[in-house]
Amino acid sequence: MKTFHLGGVHPQDNKQFSAHQPITECPLPKQAIIPLVQHIGAPTQPVVEVGAKVKVGQLLAKAGGFVSANIASPVSGTVTKIGDWTDAWGAPGQAVFIDVEGDEWLPEIDRTPDLARQCTLEPKAIIDKISAAGIVGLGGACFPTHVKLLPPPGKKAEVLIINGVECEPYLTCDHQLMLEHGEEIIIGIEILKKALGVDRAIIGIENNKQDAIAHMSKLAQAKLGIEVQPLKLKYPQGGEKQLIDACIGRQVPSGALPIEVGAVVDNVATVFAIYEAVQKNKPLISRVMTVTGKNVAKPGNYLVRFGTPIDEVIELAGGVPTHTGKIIGGGPMMGRAMDHTEEMPANKRLSGLLFLDEKESVRPEEGNCIRCGKCVQACPMGLEPYLLQRMSELEMWDELEKHAIMDCIDCGCCVYTCPAHRRLLDGIRPGKAKVGAILRERAAANK
Amino acid sequence: MAHFITSPAPHVHSGNSVRRNMLLVILALLPAYVVSVIEFGLGALITALISVAVCVLTEWLISRFLLKEHSQTIGDLSAVLTGLLLAFNLPSNLEWWIVVIGAVVAIGVGKMTFGGLGQNPFNPALVGRVFLLISFPAQMTTWPLAKGFETSYLDAETGATPLYFLKHIMKTNDGSVIDQLPALRDAFLGAMGGSLGEVCALALILGGLFLICTRVITWHIPVSIIATVALFAWIATPDCMAPQTFIAYQLLSGGLMLGAFFMATDYVTSPMTAWGKIIFGVGIGFIMMVIRTWGAYPEGMSFAILIMNACVPLLNKFRPQRFGEPKK
């Protein structure tokens, strides 16, 4: 069975808590908080004013550039505030606050569950619709999707790779989405193939989701040029570069984008959003979130409108379990531990909430590096984490650049595997930020 | 407002620990140790006990009173392992006070002077052993013969080890001493003279395979050492012996198996990357065979490992193949 070729680790997948829980719709909140940055790229510009009445699907804020994404209103009601807001990690930002009144949608949005199979739009029209709908990569990176669909001049996409890997332990939202909305995803893939002008699409799914592999294979059978690729369980297979390597055996060079090897990668949840945007005129206003953890009363997969305070989602799952130490936004390998949950809304970026108990939440004490080289063996990018950490501490920026610190994908394999519990990434992250800043400065000076 | 614990990702860990690795290595050494006790008797028990106890005590005293550290590293079992490995490299009939000196030097000089676990450039157990070899050459090269369980170990019958005869054969091409070598079967099972823990190739190979299967070590170092020794021996086979017999004796005698699986693979003093490890192993095999063939000592495993230990910072320059990098 195929997998990627360098490094990787095998964390316990712990998906049993929320796996196969049917997608449950979360009730509408009284007040919705919609952050103005929910993607990688330029911040959005609000296009509504305080006091305005908005409908579901109406544009709230428009993309602030090419690499940016529109934000549509996920609720109907009155805008009460546009201003300062702090996220669950303490970072300041801007948000639109809406008092929810009813659930009134824009009339052009098709809310029926009927499958819309036919798509007669031209590629450009498809991409325009995706762009207007504010779709970003829902696998975690939140990179605006329309940017990926418009390759730079001279580059041509050859193969579309669909990410159904969900390699983060605990998370099951993509798995459940494939089981419940497989047909929509297949239509989404056909739309994407058309938009990109490629005749081959591969859906990569890890072999801990046998039912999803079987289901998607059955649906893909009738379609020309869509294949399902079962993959050997290994983290971080859902990483874009790792997935391309696993599926087609091509390695994206350092610093380059997937298009360099002719690949475009999109997550299954993103493809589902594309189906809804193109076929149903529905902008990206909700997503499936996994709420899980061994002590969570009702772990499951919840369809949540953006802007819904996560406290309400947590209530739906049975509340914060006693002895909770950490609440992680996302999975345990790359997710971020929240300081608090108040005023934190569901948004494009939040794929799940994971509750760890107090014992699981404390990092063990760091020991001396015993130079075992396990971090080197585990690194999926072929880097030397022990060295990068030390060099970051010593502020050796030139050496760090030579040792390819910018290739680090933040996957956490090195920390996960280290027998001395060294917090390698705590050192590498700031080093990477600094080297990145130096590189940008240099690029700006050379212009 | 309720606040929760925050720390950077990842939030889960493999559960691997330094202590677990050390424990698995100690477990892997046990079969060879059982054979030693059977072959050499009480001496094997006492020597190992003294060595381990003094290593642990030395580490504790130094970190408590000289480094004044609050947290102790005794619990990670690395000192226990050093003590056991030192004992494995000593003749079982060594006087107790020599063992004590060896253990103090191993931990005190070989490890703690550099800052403790993870900082030492040389394998501590081998630092201890070579110190003793140079300081007490007579005692350190008088090996008891394997005679079954002995209780009066200090005056155990001693004699030359197979390496002595091999060197004689290589130097003089004199085939008359071939029949003084132990049968290959005995050499494989450990019924021959030698240091306490090095005699039973079978037990050491089993222990080594266990470490490879549990992913404590990788195959690179042992395989490259053994392959290099076999190749060297094949080329250097004296006329009076069949190459396969000569190769087998070279592989089964002395500290080769112990060194290849347990000493050279010490995390701290071996390279980090696959290619670094392979070159490291080839270097050890080559240097050891040079010493065995032309050197003054019959055995050269300790020296070979220590010399290659010194090359580790250089070998760590062999970085791994990066993702997306054209093959070199």
Please write the tens of the pLDDT for every residue from B4-40: 999 999 999 999 999 999 999 999 999 999 999 988 8
- What are the chain B neighbours of A426 within 8 Å (beta carbons)? 8
- Name the token pair of B209: 């395979």
Give the chain B residue whose CA is nearest to the CA of A382. B322
State whether A161 and A263 are in the same domain. Answer: yes
Q: Is the pLDDT of residue A439 over 90?
A: yes
Structure confidence at residue B55 as a pLDDT band (50, 70, 90): very high
Rg (chain A; Cα; Å): 22
The answer as to whether A4 is a domain residue is: no
Please give, rounded to a whole number of angstroms, the shortest distance from the CA of A268 to a CA of chain B.
24
Judged by CB atoms closer than 8 Å, whether chains meet at A336 and B324 is answered as no
Mutual angle of helices B124-135 and B96-104, in 10-degree steps? 130
State whether A394 and A310 are in the same domain. Answer: no
Give the whole-angstrom CA distance, residue A407 versus residue A300: 35
Q: Is A6 on the interface with B (CB under 8 A)?
A: yes
Last residue of a domain, one of A230, A262, A280: A280
Please write the tens of the pLDDT for every residue from A354-404: 999 999 999 988 999 999 999 999 999 999 999 999 999 999 999 999 999
Residues 6+ apart with CB under 8 A from B204: B32, B197, B198, B257, B258, B261, B262
The answer as to whether A12 is a domain residue is: no
Q: Is the pLDDT of residue B328 over 60?
A: no
Q: Is A9 on the interface with B (CB under 8 A)?
A: yes
State whether A186 and A312 are in the same domain. Answer: no
State whether A167 and A235 are in the same domain. Answer: yes
The answer as to whether A398 is a domain residue is: yes
Please give, rounded to a whole number of angstroms, the shortest distance from the CA of A278 to a CA of chain B.
35
Judged by CB atoms closer than 8 Å, whether chains meet at A426 and B325 is answered as no
| Mean pLDDT value across residues A111-124 | 91
Percent of chain B surpassing pLDDT 70: 94
Asked if A393 and A400 count as a contact pair (C-beta separation under 8 A), the reply is no
Please give, rounded to a whole number of angstroms, the shortest distance from the CA of A391 to a CA of chain B.
14
Q: Is the pLDDT of residue B148 over 70?
A: no
- The pLDDT, as a whole number, for residue B33 is 94
Structure confidence at residue A104 as a pLDDT band (50, 70, 90): very high
State whether A218 and A165 are in the same domain. Answer: yes
Size of interface A-B (CB pairs under 8 A): 165
State whether A251 and A175 are in the same domain. Answer: yes
Structure confidence at residue B74 as a pLDDT band (50, 70, 90): confident
Q: What is the DSSP string of A27-45?
A: PPPSEEEEES--SSSSPPE
Q: Which of A341, A386, A419 sits opposite B20 (nearest CB)?
A: A419
Give the chain A residue whose CA is nearest to the CA of B73. A367
Judged by CB atoms closer than 8 Å, whether chains meet at B11 and A335 is answered as yes
Give the whole-angstrom CA distance, residue A361 versus residue A355: 9
- What are the chain B neighbours of A336 within 8 Å (beta carbons)? 8-9
Please write the tens of the pLDDT for every residue from A214-272: 999 999 998 889 999 999 999 999 999 999 999 999 999 999 999 999 999 999 999 99
The answer as to whether A21 is a domain residue is: no
- The pLDDT, as a whole number, for residue A193 is 95
- Name the token pair of A356: 């760890």
Judged by CB atoms closer than 8 Å, whether chains meet at A340 and B2 is answered as yes
Amino acid present at A206: E
Q: Is A433 on the interface with B (CB under 8 A)?
A: no
The answer as to whether A153 is a domain residue is: yes
| Mean pLDDT value across residues B187-208 | 89
User: Collapsing DSSP states into helix, strand and coil, what is residue B22?
Assistant: helix
Structural domain span for residue A135 = 110-280
Give the whole-angstrom CA distance, residue A429 versus residue A196: 34
- To probe the interface with B, which of A240, A368, A414 has the most B CB atoms within 10 Å? A368
- The pLDDT, as a whole number, for residue A220 is 94
- Region of residue A233 (phi > 0: left; psi between -120 and 50: alpha; otherwise: beta): beta
State whether A65 and A55 are in the same domain. Answer: yes
| Mean pLDDT value across residues A3-21 | 95
Residues of B with CB under 8 A from a CB of A: 1-14, 16-18, 20-21, 71, 73, 76, 78, 116-119, 218, 267-273, 319-325
- What are the chain A neighbours of B319 within 8 Å (beta carbons)? 384, 403
State whether A320 and A216 are in the same domain. Answer: no
Provide the number of structural domains found in chain A: 3
The ipTM of this complex is: 0.90
Q: Is the pLDDT of residue B147 over 70?
A: no
Last residue of a domain, one of A223, A248, A280: A280
- The pLDDT, as a whole number, for residue B69 is 76
Q: Is the pLDDT of residue B155 over 70?
A: no
Asked if A264 and A237 count as a contact pair (C-beta separation under 8 A), the reply is no
- The pLDDT, as a whole number, for residue A239 is 94
Judged by CB atoms closer than 8 Å, whether chains meet at A363 and B12 is answered as no
Q: How far is CA A76 from the centre of its chain?
A: 26
Q: Is the pLDDT of residue B157 over 80?
A: no
Give the chain A residue whose CA is nearest to the CA of B115. A368
Give the chain A residue whose CA is nearest to the CA of B265. A372
Please give, rounded to a whole number of angstroms, the shortest distance from the CA of B322 to a CA of chain A.
4
- What are the chain B neighbours of A367 within 8 Å (beta carbons)? 18, 73, 76, 117-118
- Region of residue A9 (phi > 0: left; psi between -120 and 50: alpha; otherwise: beta): beta
| Residue A186 belongs to domain with CATH number | 3.40.50.11540
- What are the chain B neighbours of A358 within 8 Å (beta carbons)? 5
Please give, rounded to a whole number of angstroms, the shortest distance from the CA of A11 to a CA of chain B.
7
Q: Strand pairing of A336-338 and A324-329?
A: antiparallel
- The pLDDT, as a whole number, for residue B93 is 87
Give the whole-angstrom CA distance, residue A165 versus residue A212: 10
Q: Which of A195-204, B119-128, B187-196 has the lowest mean pLDDT?
A: B187-196
Judged by CB atoms closer than 8 Å, whether chains meet at A169 and B268 is answered as no
- What are the chain A neighbours of B71 within 8 Å (beta carbons)? 365
Last residue of a domain, one of A280, A308, A330: A280
- What are the chain B neighbours of A341 within 8 Å (beta carbons)? 2
Q: Which of B5, B8, B10 sits opposite A332 (nearest CB)?
A: B10
Q: Which of A275-279, B156-160, B164-168, B195-199 has the lowest mean pLDDT?
A: B156-160
Please write the tens of the pLDDT for every residue from A42-88: 999 999 999 999 999 999 999 989 999 999 999 999 999 999 999 99
| Mean pLDDT value across residues A284-288 | 96
Give the whole-angstrom CA distance, residue B44 versus residue B273: 36
Q: Is A139 on the interface with B (CB under 8 A)?
A: no
Q: Is A324 on the interface with B (CB under 8 A)?
A: yes
Structure confidence at residue B163 as a pLDDT band (50, 70, 90): confident
Q: Could you count the other beta carbons within 10 Å of the beta carbon of residue A11?
A: 25
State whether A224 and A171 are in the same domain. Answer: yes
- Name the token pair of A178: 């494939």
The answer as to whether A297 is a domain residue is: yes
| Mean pLDDT value across residues B77-90 | 95
Q: Which helix (H) or strand (E) holds A85?
A: strand A77-86
- Region of residue A44 (phi > 0: left; psi between -120 and 50: alpha; otherwise: beta): beta
- What are the chain B neighbours of A373 within 8 Å (beta carbons)? 267, 271-273
The answer as to whether A13 is a domain residue is: no
Q: Which of B33-42, B78-87, B217-226 has the lowest mean pLDDT?
A: B33-42
Higher pLDDT, residue B198 or A273: A273
Q: Could you count the other beta carbons within 10 Å of the beta carbon of residue B15?
A: 11
State whether A255 and A314 are in the same domain. Answer: no
Q: What is the mean pLDDT of chain B?
A: 90
- The pLDDT, as a whole number, for residue B24 is 97
- What are the chain A neighbours of B273 within 8 Å (beta carbons)? 373, 376, 384
The answer as to whether A44 is a domain residue is: yes
| Mean pLDDT value across residues B106-123 | 93
Q: Is A319 on the interface with B (CB under 8 A)?
A: no
- To probe the interface with A, which of B3, B6, B21, B114 has the most A CB atoms within 10 Å? B6
Q: Strand pairing of A59-62 and A45-46?
A: antiparallel
Q: What is the mean pLDDT of chain A?
A: 94
State whether A300 and A160 are in the same domain. Answer: no
Give the whole-angstrom CA distance, residue A116 versus residue A135: 19
Q: Is A256 on the interface with B (CB under 8 A)?
A: yes
CA triplet A17, A21, A26: central angle to 5 degrees? Answer: 110
Please give, rounded to a whole number of angstroms, the shortest distance from the CA of B121 to a CA of chain A.
11
Higher pLDDT, residue B12 or B298: B12
Q: Which of A313-317, B192-196, B251-255 has the lowest mean pLDDT?
A: B192-196
- What are the chain A neighbours of B21 within 8 Å (beta carbons)? 370, 372, 419
| Mean pLDDT value across residues B171-188 | 80
State whether A118 and A262 are in the same domain. Answer: yes
